């Protein structure tokens, strides 16, 4: 079947996809079969695990179908398109968090580096040696030109390999929601991270909006199935990080990282500012359900 990915405030690309083979799936984290249906998008049911509450879609495209989704994502490398993919706030927030965790720098890997916006921000700090991985040929070419000091490979997490315990920090920015097996991916990635190294993961958080759409069907925020296979709440993201071997894990609200219009930017910031205020007032304990995006960061255990 050929369909069009739903476009929302958080969607920076609009492209068709074609799927030949799908498969029914159970919960990736705990394996439970029982679930609550939250809604549907295109031909995909959005489910919440009855046991651990992980949100995912089923059926899901088979693994061999997924790389083709990204063939059309990076066709436009115009300044306008690149600007839409990196507003600057995200890069500054991640750099600040990372330098707070690792003030002495080290070797950094950005998995899913896109056009290289985060790498470009980190390149301003000489204490970092930069590496990146991205699936799109156009994006890789632009990222290499934009950050010549970085070593950037084309491929997915499954396509590349690195020496065990070779990085001081690994970033996964809007990556985990795209992969078929987040648990296995995190286990593989953690093998590349040194003990005491930092893993930083940024994901969307749209489950509350999906539930709200039962009452407001015209709400212009979508799950973005089937490019997005999962949606992570603060609880589920922390569970994944801890299961992968992270300690001292913190989940924080992400600033807006993508939007297609000034109106969208204003609306997103208006909602997020409420979340940031509540987060600060609660001494960094409470994350408002309508925060829209999360950043989890933790330190690899020495065990």
| pTM score of the predicted model | 0.91
pLDDT tens-digit profile of 102-112? 999 999 999 99
pLDDT tens-digit profile of 59-87? 999 988 887 776 655 545 455 454 554 45
pLDDT score for 220: 82
User: Which CATH entry fits the domain spanning 2-300: 3.30.1180.20, 2.40.50.140, 3.40.50.150, 3.40.50.720?
Assistant: 3.40.50.150
Domain extents in the chain: 2-300
Output the 3-class SS for the chain: CEEECCCCCCCCCCCEEECCCEECCCCCCCCCCCEEEEEEECCEEEEEECCCCCEEEECEECHHHHHHHHCCCCCCCCHHHHHHHCCCHHHHHHHHHHHHHCCCCEEEEEECCCCCHHHHHHCCCCCEEEEEEECCHHHHHHHHHHCCCCEEEECCCCCCCCCCCCEEEEEEECCHHHCCCHHHHHHHHHHHEEEEEEEEEEEEECHHHHHHCCCCCCCCCCCCCCCCCEECCHHHHHHHHHHHCEEEEEEEECCCCCCCCHHHHHHHHHHHHHHHHHHHHCCCCCCCHHHEEEEEEEEECCC
Range 224-243 average pLDDT: 95
Does the pLDDT at position 222 exceed 70?
yes
pLDDT tens-digit profile of 186-207? 999 999 999 999 999 999 999 9
Least confident residue range of 4-18, 177-191, 241-255: 4-18
pLDDT score for 267: 81
């Amino acid at each position: 079947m050929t369909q069009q990915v739903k476009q929302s405030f958080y969607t920076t690309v609009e492209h068709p996809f074609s799927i030949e083979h799908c498969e029914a799936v159970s919960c990736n984290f705990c394996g439970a079969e029982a679930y609550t249906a939250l809604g549907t998008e295109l031909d995909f049911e959005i489910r919440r695990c009855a046991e651990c509450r992980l949100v995912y879609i089923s059926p899901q495209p088979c693994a061999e179908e997924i790389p083709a989704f990204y063939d059309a994502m990076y066709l436009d490398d115009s300044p306008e398109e690149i600007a839409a993919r990196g507003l600057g706030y995200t890069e500054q927030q991640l750099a600040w968090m990372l330098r707070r965790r690792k003030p002495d720098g080290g070797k950094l890997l950005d998995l899913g580096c896109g056009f290289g916006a985060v790498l470009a921000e980190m390149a301003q700090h000489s204490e970092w040696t930069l590496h990146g991985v991205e699936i799109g040929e156009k994006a890789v070419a632009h990222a290499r030109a934009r950050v010549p000091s970085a070593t950037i490979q084309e491929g997915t997490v499954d396509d590349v390999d690195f020496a065990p315990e070779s990085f001081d920090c690994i970033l996964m920015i809007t990556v985990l929601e795209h992969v078929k097996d987040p648990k296995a991916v995190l286990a593989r990635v953690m093998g590349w991270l040194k003990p005491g190294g930092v893993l930083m993961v940024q994901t969307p958080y749209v489950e509350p909006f999906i539930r709200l759409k039962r009452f407001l069907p015209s709400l212009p925020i979508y799950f973005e199935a089937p490019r997005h296979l999962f949606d992570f709440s603060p609880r589920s993201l922390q569970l994944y990080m801890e299961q992968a071997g992270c300690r001292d894990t913190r989940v924080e609200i992400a600033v807006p990282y993508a939007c297609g219009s000034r109106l969208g930017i204003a609306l997103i910031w208006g909602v997020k500012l409420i979340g940031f205020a509540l987060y600060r007032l609660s001494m960094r304990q409470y994350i408002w359900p309508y925060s829209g995006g999360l950043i989890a960061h933790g330190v690899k255990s020495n065990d």
